Structure 1
């Protein structure tokens, strides 16, 4: 094992302009964890919702969040530097008085007065920061809460994961990710909400990529709280749905279907998706499922879908694509792949060719691939002999 070293050189080497630029950029990347933690703190403190109607001074935000005024002010200035907030000299855009001057102080560690915001200073949301509001379309709030409460500790173990081949999540929590969700209803709710808001970035494109028109039956395999299935049923009134997932996922799915008035058009089936699936449907869906598993498990799951399908049925796989934009660095695919590495043993993002290869090995023929702007790919496959039969990417 190669150990890192910090042995100093014999003399300080001064960088040229390009080396200095790269050295500063590298430090920015290294300290990026603090930026993430600041945004997660913004989410946990409810700052975006507190600022939804009008700008507020730091002292009032601290009172609402139950936070130390001076330290919250420093966090607010950092969030402004990151583009999530904007510091103003007055109540621009305000609908009324805040009821606070914004100049309240607190005592620091040495007992001296510490200013909680500059006199007359208010903070307001930017369009970027508004993405953390509870009611924002495709809100990032549940994702920030999921990261803060469950995912970040697994990320902290990335070096050890690379060395040992074991994901960080079980090491941090003593159980695997899905067992943790099953034992913690509050965390399960945050996870489901994060999945739902992520779906908002993909649903229209998925509906454009795949033909769901007509009196079809769709089986959503591992469909969670039915966010995807309700979107499909709402868009296509003739469609009928079947959701297959573990028992603990079905209660929130039933609530969602009842709340949307779509319960009569959907059957909920408790089960492991490695067990036999409801046969004879027209479409089988796997949205962000394969990237949780290693290749052997993916082949088993795909063959299980294949066994349930008739010759005219179609399988639809939605997953993030690795290597989709090599020229642009494929940053999103790389980040999501590290995410999978931290949570699941064998889980990873795959290239278009790797997913297509798994489909062919599991007995699927024609594969059509549509790349989505949000970084995912939609794979549409039919039962076949496992050999490609046309239908390239579009």
Structure 2
């Protein structure tokens, strides 16, 4: 006999795409911004969003049923749980959600079964190219992706700046740092540091504003180049956050090898990523497996275990020196490595 509670739970999981799309529509229509601090009727919101009032009311009631909004006699209000969806509040999750609400992302996840069968990212079946080709071809989506990475970078920057000893460090090179949010956080916490930010031209487009706003622009150089081809020399710490998990082993070894070739004996690589456990069970943070599947759908990369990171480092002529504690709720950790004995690979 099937357990009715187990069946009900599976229904909720299987139809989880519906609440996700409800939140997607609310964010795209900027509903959380429009009703922040006020109560509006469905008709009033329809005028402001150029939508069909009866259809919008049904969406609003759906959002109320999952706790994002509250429905009252005089209209709808933003619930506390919906506050992080506003675009104008510190800690907003909106930038992190936007690129993953894009129709191509939804279509790619719709081909998950094909991805499992072939072992190839389903985004390539949908678009004919890599997800990074997609970001380059669609400037708006590319900007949303880099904005999402900036949110992630900012969230871990303070934790990394506080937990890692930068006392003897002079120059930090951030490889793949996008708009510089992570590097700005580190430099802001340690006035003696200088920084070098390296990413694609699209990636660093917003960096001058970010670094200026943080008051560290005069201590940071911006380099728009392909770090798979080369990386700047002279760094004491080479920070690589949320980059290696996007790529297959060979490309990771290339990037790490580029670092190895320019590192001094005292320099270190700091990989900032989630470290997957060797065995997953009911106590494992679901974020890890969801992130790993998202990488499978969109990239040739994956979340890696400590043993897999060790193997990457060894292949690049580096050796692991330690793995730090998680940096906040995200589970990111600092994986430190130094040059190994012997010639660079």
In the alignment of these two chains, the number of paired residues is 338
Match of 2:25 in 1: 41
TM-score by length of 1: 0.81
Are 2:43 and 1:51 aligned? no
Residue 45 of structure 1: CA displacement?
0.7
Residue 355 of structure 1: CA displacement?
1.9
Match of 2:53 in 1: 69
- Cα pair distance change 1:221/1:161, threshold 3 Å: same
Are 2:309 and 1:355 aligned? yes
> Which of 105, 111, 124 matches 1:151?
105
The answer as to whether partners of 2:176 and 2:240 remain within 8 angstroms in 1 is: yes
- Inter-partner Cα distance in structure 2 for 1:135 and 1:364: 43
Residue 195 of structure 1: CA displacement?
1.2
Q: Secondary structure of the equivalent of 2:206?
A: helix
RMSD over aligned Cα atoms = 2.0
Match of 1:130 in 2: 83
The answer as to whether partners of 1:158 and 1:168 remain within 8 angstroms in 2 is: yes
Are 2:293 and 1:338 aligned? yes
Match of 1:369 in 2: 324
Are 2:164 and 1:180 aligned? no
List runs of 5+ in structure 1 lacking aligned partners. 1-14, 90-119, 387-394
The answer as to whether partners of 2:146 and 2:203 remain within 8 angstroms in 1 is: no
Are 2:335 and 1:382 aligned? no
- Inter-partner Cα distance in structure 2 for 1:34 and 1:338: 19
- Segments ≥4 residues shifted beyond 6 Å: none
Q: Secondary structure of the equivalent of 1:334?
A: helix
Deviation sequence 1:315-366 (CA, Å, 0-9, x none): 1111123238734143110100111011112x11112332233223332241
Are 2:191 and 1:231 aligned? no
The answer as to whether partners of 2:154 and 2:182 remain within 8 angstroms in 1 is: no
TM-score by length of 2: 0.91
Residue 248 of structure 1: CA displacement?
2.6
Match of 1:10 in 2: none
Are 2:292 and 1:326 aligned? no
Q: Secondary structure of the equivalent of 1:248?
A: coil
- Cα pair distance change 1:365/1:340, threshold 3 Å: closer
- Inter-partner Cα distance in structure 2 for 1:28 and 1:62: 29
Deviation sequence 1:28-70 (CA, Å, 0-9, x none): 1110011111111111010110111212222111211111111
> Which of 230, 237, 245 matches 1:291?
245
Q: Secondary structure of the equivalent of 1:247?
A: coil
As a proportion of its length, which structure holds more helix?
Answer: 2
Deviation sequence 1:250-276 (CA, Å, 0-9, x none): 332233334444322111122211122
- Cα pair distance change 1:214/1:53, threshold 3 Å: farther
Match of 1:95 in 2: none
Residue 215 of structure 1: CA displacement?
5.7
The answer as to whether partners of 1:170 and 1:177 remain within 8 angstroms in 2 is: yes
- Highest CA radius of gyration, 1 or 2? 1
